[in-house]
C-alpha cells in the first residue's frame, strides 16, 4: 500500500498518516495486532509505557509474539501478565478496566477488544489506560451516581424504577426505608414484595394492571392506592407509572412515583363532614331553602322544600314551576334582585301547592352569595310557610269576633233585663214611698218607717248595681266609644276635686299636689274622668274615720303619673291578685257598699288609653294606686 | 190647680205615681196605653204629661209626635218616664221635643221637684210671651 507512488496512493497515505497522528495524541496506550501477532498499529504512548525506544511507525508490520515476555518485567506479577495475555487472546472475551500493577508502584487499566471483520476474526486490540486519570473519571461518575441517588432518596415522594418486566431496578428510601429490604428488592417484583411483607396479592395485581396499561399506551398512568398502617390508619397514595422510551421509541424503563395524599384526603373528609353538618343544619330548618342561578333554576333545595313539594330532587327545575299565585311577580322580583346590589330583598308572599295539591301561603326573601369555585352569582331563597300561622290568626280573629258577639249578646241581654227590672223596681220604690207618706202621720209610723226606709235603700242599691252591671257589659262589648284628644288633665282633676271632694260626703277633703309642668295629654277624657272618680271614691269609701286620702299628679316629658294614697282598710295579697275581675271585692270590706265592678272598669279604661296600673296595699294600713299614661299618642 | 196626665201601661206604677202626685196637690188623670193617652191629652188638655216609652198599641215617642201634629192648642209640658235607661234613647226623646227624660226607678221627691220646676218654667215662658204680645 505504501509502495505505490500514484496520486491516489499519496492521498491514502496522507489519510493513514493523519489517523496515526491522531491515535498518537490519544492519552491511552493502544496496540492492534493481527491473529498472527503482526502489529497493525501501535501508538507513541504504548512505546512509552513499555519502554520501547523507537518510533511507533517502525514497529508496524513487525511480529510481537514475544512482546509479553519482553515486557513482563515491568509488572509486579510478570508471569500473571504473560498468562493473562494468553488466556485473553485464547478466549477472545472482551475485558474492561482490568487493573494491572507495575513494579514502579503505579497501575494501569487494561481493556481488550476482539476485532472481527465481516464475521472473521481479524485481530486483538489492547488498550492500556492511565489509572490516575481513569480513577478520576470513575470517581466523577461515582460522584454523579451518588448525587442522583442522594437526590432520588431525598425527593419527598416514593420513587421506584422498573425495567420493562416490572422488576425493580431502583428504589429510594421513601419507597422502602429499610436498607436490607431495599437491596433485596432489586431485581424482584411486587408479588415478591407482597409475599415478603405479608401484604395482600391484590396490591400487586392492582399495580401490575396499571403497569401494563402504561406499557400498552406508552402514557403516564395515575391511580390511587389505599394502604393500612399497623395501627389500622388509612394511608392514601397517589401513584404514577411514567414509561421512559429510548430513541427508537421502545420502553426500556418505567419510573414509578407516589405521593402520600393522606392529609389531603383527610382534609377532604373533614370538609365533607363539615358540608354534611351544614346540610343537616339547613335540612333541619323550618324554612324552605333553595339556591338558584340568575335565571331561577334550582341548584340546591333543602329537605324541607323536598318534603313540601314532594320532589326528592328539584335541582335543574325552574323554581317558578312550583309556585301558584304571585308566580309572575316572584320572577320579576327575582330578576330585579339579581340586577341589584343589596344583600337581602324585602319580604313578600307567594303561594304553592304541596304534593297533595293543598295550597300553602309562603313568605319569602332573597339573598345573594358567590359560589366559591365558579365565582358565579347565586341567589338563596328562604321561604317560610305561614299557612298554619295564618290559620291560627284567622282562628283567633274568629274567636275574637265570637267573643265580641257574645259580649254584645250579654250586653243586649243586660239591657233587656234592666228594662224589665226597672218597672217593677219603680213600683216597689213608689209604693214604699207612698206607704211612708201615708203612715208618716200615723201613730205606728215609728214602727213602719225603718222597714220602708230599708225597702227604699235596697231599691237604690239594686238600681246602682244594675247601672254598673249594664255599664260594664257595654264596656266589654266595646260599646263605649274611645275618642282620645289632647286635654288639660290637671284642670280636670282640680275641677273634680272642687266639685266632689271639697269636701267628700263625710266632711273630709282630698289633698291634691302637682309635680312637674302640667301639659295637655292625649287620652279619652270621659274615661280618665271615670277612672279618677272610681279611684278617689274608693280611697274615701274604704278609709272611714281615718285621715283623708291624697292625690298626686306628676308630669314628665313623655309620661304622666297619678298616685292616690289612702289610710284605709287595705287589701290582702290574695285579694289584690283578683281585683280587676268583675264582682270581686276585698274580703275585709264589711258593710261598705260596692259592686266589685269599679276597678274592673278602671283597668279596662286604663288599658284602652295605653296606661299601666299598679296597686300596693297593706291590710289595716292603707292602699296606694299608681297609674301611668303616655302624654303623646 | 195644674192638671197632669199619666200615660203608663203598668197598673201598679200608674196608680202609685198618680197617688203621690195627687198628694202633692195636682189634679191627676191616667191612661193605660199610648192610644188612650193621646185621646185623653187631646180631650183634657192637661198642663203636663208624664209618659212611658214602651207601651202597647202606641209607644211614647209616637204619642209625642202625634200630639205635636194634632194638638192645635199649644203643647203641654211633656216628660218621658221610662225604663229605657240608655243615653241614646234619652237623646232621641229630647230631640223629639220632650222637656225632660226621667229614668225608672225614680224617687218620688225627685219626680215632684222636676214636675214643679218644669211647670214653673212653662209659666214664666207664658208670662214672657204674653207681656210681649201685650206690648205689641
Residues of chain A positioned with their CB less than 8 A from the CB of B85: 418-419, 422, 467, 470
Rounded Cα distance between A617 and A535, Å, is 14
- Decide if pLDDT at A10 tops 60: no
Is residue A390 pLDDT above 80, yes or no?
A: yes
Query: What is the dihedral sign for C-alpha A104, A105, A109, A112?
Result: positive
Rg (CA), chain A: 60
With both helix axes pointing from N to C terminus, report the angle between A489-500 and A525-541 in degrees, rounded to the nearest 10. Answer: 40
* Inter-chain CB proximity A434 and B107 less than 8 Å: no
* Least-confidence region, from A297-306, A441-450, A611-620, B11-20: A441-450
Task: Kindly state the DSSP code that residue A146 receives in the 8-state scheme.
Answer: H
Distance from CA of B136 to the nearest CA of A (A): 45
Q: What cell numbers appear for A568 in the block?
A: 284605709
Sign, CA dihedral A598-A604-A609-A612, equals positive
Smallest CA–CA distance, residue B124 to chain A, in Å, is: 30
Query: What value does the CA radius of gyration of chain B take, rounded to a whole number of Å?
Result: 15
The DSSP code for A104 is T
**A426 → closest Cβ in B13, B19, B84:** B13
Among chain B residues, the shortest Cα distance to A434 is held by B20
What is the longest distance spanned by two Cα atoms in chain B? 49
Residues of B in contact with A452 (CB under 8 A): none
Global confidence as pTM? 0.49
Euclidean distance between the first and the last CA atom of chain A, given in angstroms as a whole number:
137
**Alpha-carbon gap, residue A469 to A601, rounded angstroms:** 10
Report angle CA A414, A418, A420 to the nearest 5 degrees: 120
Q: How far is A633 from chain B (nearest CA, A)?
A: 28
Helix and strand numbers (H, E) in chain A are 18, 22
Q: Does A595 touch chain B (CB under 8 A)?
A: no
Predicted local confidence at residue A105, as pLDDT: 82
Q: Which residues of chain B have pLDDT under 50?
A: none
Burial of residue A37 (number of CB atoms within 10 Å: 0-12, 13-18, 19+): middle
Core vs surface per residue A433-448: b (16+ CB within 10 A) or e: bbbbeebeeeeeeeee
Confidence check: pLDDT of A5 > 60: no
Q: What's the rounded mean pLDDT across residues A508-524? A: 94
- Could you say which residues from 23 to 52 on chain B have a Cβ atom under 8 Å away from some Cβ of chain A? 23
Interface of A with B in 162-191 (CB under 8 A): none
Q: Cβ–Cβ of A434/B20 closer than 8 Å?
A: yes
**Complex-level ipTM:** 0.87
- A68-83 pLDDT, tens digit per residue, is 888 888 889 999 999 9
The SS3 of residue A28 is coil
Report the percentage of chain A scoring pLDDT > 70.
97
Residue B88 at interface with chain A, using a CB cutoff of 8 Å = no
Residue A11 confidence (pLDDT) above 60: no
- A146-204 pLDDT, tens digit per residue, is 888 888 778 778 889 998 889 998 888 888 888 888 888 888 999 999 898 888 899 99
Give the least confident one: A104-113, A129-138, A249-258, B91-100: A129-138
ω before A348 within 30° of 0 (cis)? no
B25-36 tens-digit pLDDT: 999 999 999 999
What is the secondary structure of A420-486 as a DSSP string? HHHHHHHHHHHHHHHHHHHHTTSTTHHHHHHHHHHHHHHHHHHHHHHHHHHHHHHHHTT-S----EE
Where are the strands (E) in A306-444, listed by range?
348-353, 359-370, 377-385
Interface contact B86, partner A, CB < 8 A: yes
Could you tell me the three cell numbers for B34? 199610648
Q: What is the pLDDT of residues A276-324, one digit of tens each?
A: 998 888 888 888 999 998 888 998 899 888 888 888 888 899 888 888 8
Amino acid at each position: 500500500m505504501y509502495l505505490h507512488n500514484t496520486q491516489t496512493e499519496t492521498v491514502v497515505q496522507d489519510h493513514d498518516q493523519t489517523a496515526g497522528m491522531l491515535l498518537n495524541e490519544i492519552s491511552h496506550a493502544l496496540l492492534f495486532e493481527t491473529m498472527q501477532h503482526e502489529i497493525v498499529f501501535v501508538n507513541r504512548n504504548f512505546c512509552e509505557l513499555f519502554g520501547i525506544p523507537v518510533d511507533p511507525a517502525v514497529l508496524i508490520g513487525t511480529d510481537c509474539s514475544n512482546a509479553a515476555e519482553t515486557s513482563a518485567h515491568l509488572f509486579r506479577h510478570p508471569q500473571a501478565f504473560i498468562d493473562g495475555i494468553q488466556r485473553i487472546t485464547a478466549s477472545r472475551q472482551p475485558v474492561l478496566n482490568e487493573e494491572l500493577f507495575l513494579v514502579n508502584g503505579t497501575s494501569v487499566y487494561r481493556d481488550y477488544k476482539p476485532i472481527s471483520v465481516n464475521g472473521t476474526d481479524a485481530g486483538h486490540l489492547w488498550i492500556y489506560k492511565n489509572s490516575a486519570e481513569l480513577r478520576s473519571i470513575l470517581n466523577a461518575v461515582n460522584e454523579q451516581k451518588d448525587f442522583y441517588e442522594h437526590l432520588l432518596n431525598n425527593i419527598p415522594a416514593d420513587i421506584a424504577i422498573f425495567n420493562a418486566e416490572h422488576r425493580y431496578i431502583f428504589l429510594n428510601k421513601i419507597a422502602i426505608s429499610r436498607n436490607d429490604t431495599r437491596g433485596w428488592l432489586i431485581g424482584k417484583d411486587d408479588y415478591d414484595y407482597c409475599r415478603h411483607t405479608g401484604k395482600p396479592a391484590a396490591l400487586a395485581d392492582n399495580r401490575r394492571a396499571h403497569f401494563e396499561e402504561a406499557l400498552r399506551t406508552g402514557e403516564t398512568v395515575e391511580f390511587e392506592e389505599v394502604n393500612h398502617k399497623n395501627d389500622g390508619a388509612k394511608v392514601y397514595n397517589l401513584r404514577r407509572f411514567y414509561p421512559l422510551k429510548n430513541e427508537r421509541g421502545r420502553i426500556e424503563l418505567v419510573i414509578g412515583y407516589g405521593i402520600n395524599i393522606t392529609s389531603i384526603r383527610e382534609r377532604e373528609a373533614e370538609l365533607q363532614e363539615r358540608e354534611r353538618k351544614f346540610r343537616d343544619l339547613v335540612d333541619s330548618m323550618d324554612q324552605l331553602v333553595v339556591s338558584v342561578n340568575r335565571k331561577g333554576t334550582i341548584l340546591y333545595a333543602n329537605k324541607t322544600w323536598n318534603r313540601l313539594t314532594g320532589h326528592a330532587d328539584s335541582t335543574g327545575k325552574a323554581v317558578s314551576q312550583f309556585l301558584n299565585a304571585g308566580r309572575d311577580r316572584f320572577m320579576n322580583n327575582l330578576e330585579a334582585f339579581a340586577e341589584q346590589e343589596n344583600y337581602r330583598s324585602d319580604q313578600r308572599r307567594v303561594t304553592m301547592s304541596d304534593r297533595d295539591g293543598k295550597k300553602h301561603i309562603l313568605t319569602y326573601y332573597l339573598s345573594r352569595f358567590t359560589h366559591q369555585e365558579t365565582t358565579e352569582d347565586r341567589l338563596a331563597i328562604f321561604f317560610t310557610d305561614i299557612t298554619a300561622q295564618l290559620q291560627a290568626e284567622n282562628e283567633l280573629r274568629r274567636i275574637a269576633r265570637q267573643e265580641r258577639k257574645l259580649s254584645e249578646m250579654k250586653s243586649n241581654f243586660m239591657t233587656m233585663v234592666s228594662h224589665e227590672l226597672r218597672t217593677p223596681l219603680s213600683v216597689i220604690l213608689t209604693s214604699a214611698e207612698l206607704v211612708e207618706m201615708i203612715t208618716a202621720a200615723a201613730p205606728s209610723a215609728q214602727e213602719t218607717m225603718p222597714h220602708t226606709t230599708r225597702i227604699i235603700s235596697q231599691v237604690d242599691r239594686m238600681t246602682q248595681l244594675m247601672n254598673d252591671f249594664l255599664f260594664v257589659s257595654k264596656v266589654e262589648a266595646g260599646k263605649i266609644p274611645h275618642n282620645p284628644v289632647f286635654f288639660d288633665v290637671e284642670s280636670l282633676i282640680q275641677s273634680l276635686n272642687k266639685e266632689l271632694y271639697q269636701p267628700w260626703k263625710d266632711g273630709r277633703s282630698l289633698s291634691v299636689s302637682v309635680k312637674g309642668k302640667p301639659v295637655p295629654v292625649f287620652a279619652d277624657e270621659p274615661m280618665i274622668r271615670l277612672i279618677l272618680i272610681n279611684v278617689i271614691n274608693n280611697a274615701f269609701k274604704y278609709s272611714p274615720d281615718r285621715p283623708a286620702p291624697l292625690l298626686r299628679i306628676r308630669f314628665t316629658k313623655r309620661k304622666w303619673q297619678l298616685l292616690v294614697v289612702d289610710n284605709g282598710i287595705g287589701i290582702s295579697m290574695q285579694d289584690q291578685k283578683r281585683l280587676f275581675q268583675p264582682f270581686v271585692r276585698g274580703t275585709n270590706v264589711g258593710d261598705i257598699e260596692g259592686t266589685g265592678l269599679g276597678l274592673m272598669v278602671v283597668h279596662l279604661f286604663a288599658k284602652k288609653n295605653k296606661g299601666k296600673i299598679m296597686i300596693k296595699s297593706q291590710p289595716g294600713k292603707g292602699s296606694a294606686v299608681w297609674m301611668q299614661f303616655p302624654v303623646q299618642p | 190647680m195644674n192638671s197632669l196626665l199619666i200615660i203608663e201601661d203598668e197598673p201598679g206604677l200608674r196608680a202609685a205615681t198618680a197617688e203621690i202626685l195627687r198628694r202633692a196637690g195636682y189634679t191627676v188623670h191616667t191612661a193605660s196605653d199610648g192610644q188612650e193617652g193621646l185621646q185623653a191629652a187631646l180631650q183634657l188638655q192637661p198642663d203636663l204629661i208624664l209618659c212611658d216609652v214602651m207601651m202597647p198599641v202606641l209607644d211614647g215617642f209616637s204619642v209625642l209626635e202625634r200630639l205635636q201634629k194634632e194638638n192645635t192648642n199649644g203643647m203641654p209640658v211633656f216628660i218621658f218616664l221610662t225604663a229605657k235607661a240608655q243615653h241614646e234613647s234619652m237623646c232621641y226623646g229630647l230631640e223629639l221635643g220632650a222637656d225632660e227624660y226621667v229614668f225608672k226607678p225614680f224617687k218620688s221627691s225627685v219626680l215632684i221637684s222636676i214636675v214643679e220646676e218644669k211647670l214653673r218654667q212653662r209659666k214664666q215662658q207664658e208670662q214672657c210671651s204674653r207681656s210681649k204680645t201685650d206690648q205689641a
